[in-house]
Structures are given as C-alpha cells and as structure tokens.
Structure 1
Amino acid sequence: MSTITIRNTEDAVARIAALATKVIADGGHEGHDLETVGAIMTSDDVLDAIRRSFTRNLAKDGATVKDAFTATGQAVIASYCDRAGIPTDDEA
C-alpha cells in the first residue's frame, strides 16, 4: 500500500481522477481502456464534479481528508459505471 499526500483540493482532484481512471480501465470493459477513460475523467465537467464532491464530503461533520477522498472516489467510479452501463459487483 502506498501513501497519498493531499496538500489541497487540487491534489485530491488530480489523484481521485487518476485512481478512478485506473480502476475503471483495469475492469477490462470494452470501450473503456485507459486512454478513453482518462479523456473523460480529465474533462473540465468531470474534474469540476470531483472538486464539488470532494469539497462537499470534506465539509461533513467529523470528515477527514481520507473520508472525503474515499467517498468521492467511490461516487466517481459508481457514476461513471452507471452512465456507461458497466455493471457493478452487486449487479453482476
């Protein structure tokens, strides 16, 4: 396991986008390779949504940076899969 250092919101946004891209592409679903998913994840709209989600999650009572990072990453992956019609483990 590696350590991720988050100094500010932009660090979090970049790391969440990168990790979500890798997780989705590693799923091996046709049409969702690293390059394709990366292009979507780095679009202004998606980066803005990640930023809003991270900020919203961080503002919750008692939330840590790790909590906000994890919740946002999960939401990003779930949203992508839902929109792309990729089944999650619960749906498989």
Structure 2
Amino acid sequence: MTATHTVNDTEDAVALIGAMAVKTIAGWGLEGHSLDEVGERVLADDAIQAIRRSFTANLAKGFDVKESVIRTGQSLIAHYCNSAGIPTDDQS
C-alpha cells in the first residue's frame, strides 16, 4: 500500500520529511535509536532548519516537490547514520 501525502508549502514538506525519517530510522530497531530518541535528534531546531534549507535548495536546483522531498529525506537519513556511526552500505 502506498501512502499519498499533500505538500502545500515548505512547512508541510519539512514536517513530512522529519516524520518519515524518524519513522524509518526508529523502525530499524537499533539500540539507542527508539522513536523518541530519534525524534529528539531529527526534530531538534537546528535539524529542522537544515531540513528546510535542504528542501528549498533542491527546489532551487529545479527539482519538483516530490523529488525535493525524496532527496532531502535521503540526505537526512544518511547524515543521521553517519553522525551516529550506523553503516550506510551493505557490510556483509
């Protein structure tokens, strides 16, 4: 099942990206990265500002809203993983 999200403005996009990143990362079930713990990090004021800057920068590069949300979300998750020491490639 695919969810549909409506993004009317930058704040909608920021909320969606933050929520989806928190749910994704917490869903991995890693110790120290519960829904509350990830939420505290990803939804901190400085992180929200970074999400906003990334999203608007992607729009300015000519990407549509959907692609800007995807690119920003990917970047946010990669940054979180790198800063938390979570491997981002297949380590098998």
- Compute the TM-score of the two structures, normalised by the length of structure 2: 0.94
CA distance, structure 1, for counterparts of residue 76 and residue 3 of structure 2: 21
Query: How many residues of Structure 1 are paired with residues of Structure 2 in the alignment?
Result: 90
Q: Does 1:10 align with 2:11?
A: yes
CA contact (8 A) 1:16 1:69 kept: yes
After the TM superposition, list the runs of 4 or more consecutive aligned residues in structure 1 that deviate by more than 4 angstroms: none
Counterpart in the other structure of 1:43: 44
Equivalent position SS for 1:50: helix
RMSD, aligned α-carbons: 0.8
- Compute the TM-score of the two structures, normalised by the length of structure 1: 0.94
CA distance, structure 1, for counterparts of residue 65 and residue 13 of structure 2: 9
Counterpart in the other structure of 1:24: 25
Question: Counterpart of 1:31 in structure 2: which amino acid?
Answer: G
> Per-residue deviation at 1:45?
0.3
Structure 1 residue runs of 5 or longer lacking an equivalent are none
Structure 2 residue runs of 5 or longer lacking an equivalent are none
Counterpart in the other structure of 2:87: 87
> Per-residue deviation at 1:27?
1.0
Equivalent position SS for 2:47: helix
Question: Counterpart of 1:12 in structure 2: which amino acid?
Answer: A
Counterpart in the other structure of 2:57: 56
Percentage identity across aligned positions?
Answer: 54
Question: Counterpart of 2:22 in structure 1: which amino acid?
Answer: T
